[in-house]
Chain A
C-alpha cells in the first residue's frame, strides 16, 4: 500500500497551480482524505501531484453579496463551526455533522469533497440542492459551473484537465427557508446507505417551496421538486421511488435502500419545516 512514483509540486499562486496542472496526468491535493487512500491502493497513479495547501487565498469563508463563498482549502471542521455558515447556509453544517470524524474533518476540505463528486458525499447533495456555483481557474481564465452541470456521474465531474476548483458559492438562505439533512449509515461518519437533504420555504405558516436532494442511490445526487406532493406522503414516495435507482451491495439490498429513502424523505421534509419555523421565531 505505497503510492507509485509521482512528482510533488507545491505552487505559491493560483496561476502557478494552473500551470502545474497542465502537465500530463496531474491531480490536485487539498485535504487528501479521499486521494491519499486511492494513491496508497494504487487506484490512482498521477504523475504530478499539485499540492494547493500553500494557496492561502483559498482558505477563506466569506459572504460575497448574496452568496457564501467557501475557499478550496477551508477544512470541514472550520466550515462546521463557522458562524457565517451557521447563519446563512445552515444546511452545510447539518450535512457536515454526518461527515466522518474529527481527525478526517480537520484535514479534509468541503470544496474538495464537492470536486471529488462522490455520489455518496453529503456536500455533493448540498451543492446540488442549493444550486451552488463551482469556481474554476483555468489557463483560459476563470469560469463558473453550476452544480447541476458539474456532477456528471459517480466520481465524475465536468471539470476539464488542467482546471482548478478554487471555491464554491452557495446562495444565502433567508429565514423563510428551512433545511435538513437525514441519512442512514452503517457506522457513524460512514458514507450513507441512503441520504436526503431537504429545503423548504415557509411563508405565513404555508410551505411555498419544497425541494429534496437524494444521495447514495444514484450516480449523482438527485434533486427533486416536491412542492406538488409534499403533503401526501404516498404520492411523495411514488414520485421519489420512480426516480431513484439504488443498487444491492454487501451492506444493503436495493429494496432496503428504497425503504430508507421513503423514511428519510418524510423525516427531512418534516425537520426542514421545523427548522424554518425555528429560524423565523
Chain B
C-alpha cells in the first residue's frame, strides 16, 4: 500500500539541493553577461537640471550610459498602474528612468552597462547630476499638511479616498451606553528578502526571441509586462523564475523599472545583460509597507459588545501607486477579524510621500487592521474591567453563523464572506495552551522575585487563496517519472514537496517519482503569481484536478489493456492492478507508453508495452476525442477567497531598569483547514512570527526630515537574528474549507499578522499604561515610562 502523504510531515524535497549549495539564484546565472548599475537619486524631491557624463565616458570596460532621453517607444512611457480602483482618484507611476523629476531617494536616473559590475559602479561614481532641490513630503503628518506636493498635479497629496458603511455606525456609537476613542500608529517596515531583486536577459538575434530570468513572484506577469513594453509578441518572450531567495510581497510588483530596462538593453546591445540588486538599493528603491495612522470611535454595551465601530485611517503609499491601493483596502475589510460589530464605518485616505513606494508585505494591511481592532477590544476590556478574552468571545462570530457575510466587498471584488472557522474553539485552545486562566498566579510569583511580566492576546482572520485562477499540469513519462508544472513561482515555501504530496496521493505513486516545476513560462504559461497565501489553495487544487484527469485516463487505458472495468482498478506504488487480484496489473509507466502509440520501442517500458493490445482497431490509433500522452491539465478558479484564522498569545518579561522586552512564551493557534504538510505549515508560522516579532520590537524605516533613509543597511535596520526569536508553540485547529476540493486554506502570511497587536497587548498588560504606537524599542518604552511617571 502506498503510504498516504497528504497530511504527513514529509521532509522538503528541495532542501538537500538548497542547503548543499546547489541552488541556482539569479546572481548564479549569466557570469559572462554585461552588468548594469544605476545612478539613483540622493534627494527625496528634486528637478534634474543636467546630467554630465564627461568624466565617465572614457572608463575602460564601459558599454553604455542611458538616461530617460535615450529610452524608446513604450519603454519611455510611465510604468503601468497594475490594479486600478474607483477609489484611486489620482494614481501615479514613475518612469523606468526618472523623467525630469525624482520623487524619492533611490529613484533610478541613469543606467550604466559595463563589462562587469565593478566597472559599472566606477562609471556611476563619475557621472555628475545637478538638481534643483525641492522640499520633500515625509511621513503622514507632512502629507496631510500638504505644504508641499509630491506630484504637482495631485491636490493635497491624496491618491485615494474611500468610505464604506455597514449599518449606521455613527448613530449607533452616539446612542451607545459607553464610548471610547483611540489613536493608533504603525510605522514602516519592509519585506527584506535575503536575496534582492534581479534580472538577467538574453536576446536571441537570430530568432528575435527574448529569454529572461527574474527573481520574481510572478514570471507570467513579468513576461506579459515586458512583451508589452518592448512591443514583442508574447510568443517571443519567455520568463523563468530561478531559485528565489525570499519574496514576502516585494517581488509580486511587476514590472520593476529594471525588469523593463535590462531586457531592453540586452536587445539593443544584442548581448546578455544582468542586474543584481544590492542591499542598499533594495532598501531605498524597492518597496516598504505598513505606515498607517488610525482614529477609532467605538460604542459598546455593558457586556462589551460592540454596537458601532468607526475607523478613519491614513495610509502612506510612498511616491507612486503602481500596485494600486490593495493595502488600505485590505485593512478596511479585514480589520474586523473574527468579530461582528452591529455596525461598521471605515474611511481611508491614501497619501503620497517622497519615500519609497509601498506594496504588500506579508500580511498586507492586516497587521495594521488587527492592531487597530485588537487595541480597541483591549481598551473596551480595560474600561469595563473585564477579562480581555471575555470581551473577544462576546463579539465573536459563532460557528453556526458560517458562512458569514460581513456586508463588505473584499480585495478580489467579491463579497466578503467567511466560509469556515470556529473562533470560540480556537480561543479555548489558545487559553488552555498558554495557561491564560492561571496567569495571575504566574504574575504574582514573578512579582515576588521583583520581576515584571505581562500577557497579550490577538486574533485575526485572513482572506487567502485569492483568485482569479491557477493551473496545474501533470504528466507521466514512460520512465515512471511524474512531471508536474504550475505557473506560479516559489520563493522557498516548499512547493516542490506539497504539490508532490498531492500528486502522489491522487495518482498512487511514490513521492520520490514526482518532480515539480514552478514559475517557468515555457512549462506553464498561464498563471497569476505567488502572493496572498494562495499557492497551496490555488495551484494545489488545480494540480489535484489535473492529477485526477491523469488517473482517469490511466485507468481507462489500463482497463482496455487488462480487459476489465476501470472501476475495478486501483493504483498502488505506481502499479495499476485489479482490486482483489493483484496479479492482474500493469505499471503506470507502461500505460504511459500505451497512451502514446509511437512505432519505436525506445526503452524497456516500450518493450513491455508491446504485450498489451490497446484500443479499438476500427478507430484511429489516437481516437478523435483523445490526445496522445498520459497527461492532464486543469485549472482551479474559486467563486471567492477562503478565510483562514488564528489567535496568538505571548508572555513577556520587561526588565525594570532597561525596559528590554524578553519573550517567555509565544503560543499560536491556527486554522488553515486541511493541512497538506504540518511541518511546512509550522515553518510558515515560525517565519511569520519572526517577522511579527521584527515588526513589533525591531524593524522600522528611519527617514529623517529630508527623506533620507538613515538605516539602509542590515547593521541599522534591525532584522532580528535567531537569537531574538522565541520558540513558537503551535496548535492546529482544522475546519476544512467547503470552497475547494482539498478543503485547504492559505497559511503563508498567518504568523506575521497579529505581531504588533499581541506585543502591544502584553506590554500594556505588564506596564499598565496604554501602548498606541508600534514598533516600540526599549529606549522608547523607557522614555514612555518616564513620561507616564511625570504625568501621573
Contact = CB atoms under 8 A, between A and B. Distances in A.
Q: A and B, one complex?
A: yes
Interface string A1-36: 111110000000000000000000000000000000
Contacts of A4: 118, 121-122, 125
A278 to B, nearest CB: 23
B723 A252 contact: no
A184 B781 CA distance: 15
Q: What bracket does the count of chain B residues touching chain A fall in?
A: 20 to 34
B698 A259 contact: no
Given A186-B718, A251-B777, A1 B698 contact: no
A84 B698 CA distance: 38
Contact of B280 (A3, A41, A252, A253): A41
A189 interface: yes
B782 A188 contact: no
B721 A250 contact: no
Contacts of B790: none
Contacts of A260: 658
B779 A189 contact: no
A233 interface: no
Contacts of B125: 4, 42
Nearest to B710: A250
A263 interface: yes
A255 interface: yes
A189 B721 contact: yes
A2 B783 CA distance: 40
B657 A256 contact: no
B76 to A, nearest CB: 29
A85 to B, nearest CB: 23
Contact of B279 (A1, A250, A251): A1
Given A187-B724, A253-B779, A263 B280 contact: no
Contacts of B715: 37, 190
A4 B125 CA distance: 10
A212 to B, nearest CB: 17
A259 B782 contact: yes
A263 B723 contact: no
B561 interface: no
Given A189-B723, A259-B657, A2 B118 contact: yes
A239 interface: no
A187 B718 contact: yes
B84 interface: no
Contacts of A42: 121, 125
A101 interface: yes
Nearest to B276: A1
Contact of B721 (A5, A41, A101, A252): A101
B778 interface: yes
B100 interface: no
Contact of B716 (A250, A262, A263): A250
B278 interface: yes
A187 B122 CA distance: 34
B783 A256 contact: yes
B312 interface: no
Given A2-B118, A256-B783, A259-B658, A188 B723 contact: yes
B702 interface: yes
Contacts of A253: 779, 783
A42 B723 CA distance: 30
Q: What bracket does the count of chain A residues touching chain B fall in?
A: 20 to 34
Contacts of A41: 280
B161 interface: no
Nearest to B121: A2
Contacts of A187: 698, 718, 720-721, 723-724
Interface in B104-126: 117-118, 121-122, 125
Interface string B706-722: 00001100011010110
A251 B724 contact: no
Interface string B155-172: 000000000000000000
A259 B655 CA distance: 13
Contacts of B783: 253, 255-256
A101 B716 CA distance: 16
Contacts of B720: 187
A2 B117 contact: yes
A193 B657 CA distance: 14
Nearest to B116: A2
B513 interface: no
Contacts of A193: 779
Nearest to B703: A250
A250 B782 contact: no
A250 B660 CA distance: 16
Contacts of B782: 256, 259
A244 B724 CA distance: 29
A188 B724 contact: yes
B430 to A, nearest CB: 29
A104 to B, nearest CB: 12
B660 A184 contact: yes
Contacts of A189: 721, 723
Interface in B651-699: 657-658, 660, 698
Contacts of A256: 778-779, 782-783
Nearest to A101: B721
A70 B280 CA distance: 36
B754 to A, nearest CB: 22
Given A186-B698, A251-B777, A253-B779, A3 B658 contact: no
Interface string A234-259: 00000000000000001111011001
Contact of A1 (B280, B710, B723, B786): B280
A258 B719 CA distance: 25
A191 to B, nearest CB: 8
Interface in A170-195: 184, 186-190, 193
Contacts of B279: 1
A42 B718 CA distance: 22
Contacts of B711: 250
B720 to A, nearest CB: 6
Nearest to A45: B125
A263 B657 contact: yes
Nearest to A264: B658
A260 B660 CA distance: 11
Nearest to A193: B779
A1 B714 CA distance: 14
A5 B119 CA distance: 9
Given A187-B721, A187-B723, A188-B723, A252 B779 contact: yes
Most chain B beta-carbon contacts within 10 A, residue among A2, A3, A37, A42: A2
Interface string A249-281: 011110110011011000000000000000000
A188 B721 contact: yes
Contacts of B786: 255
A250 B711 CA distance: 8
A90 B574 CA distance: 64
A189 B657 CA distance: 21
Contact of B777 (A2, A101, A252, A259): A252
A186 B711 CA distance: 14
B777 A186 contact: yes
A272 B49 CA distance: 62
A193 B721 CA distance: 17
Nearest to B783: A253
Most chain B beta-carbon contacts within 10 A, residue among A3, A187, A256, A263: A256
Nearest to A259: B782
Given A186-B718, A259-B782, A1 B278 contact: yes
Interface string B608-648: 00000000000000000000000000000000000000000
B658 A184 contact: yes
Contact of A263 (B278, B658, B698, B724): B658
- Ranked nearest first, the 8 interchain pairs of A and B with the lowest CB-CB distance are A188-B723, A252-B779, A1-B278, A256-B779, A263-B657, A250-B702, A2-B118, A2-B121
8 contacts: A1-B278, A5-B122, A42-B125, A186-B698, A187-B698, A188-B721, A251-B777, A263-B657
Interface of A: 1-5, 37, 41-42, 101, 184, 186-190, 193, 250-253, 255-256, 259-260, 262-263
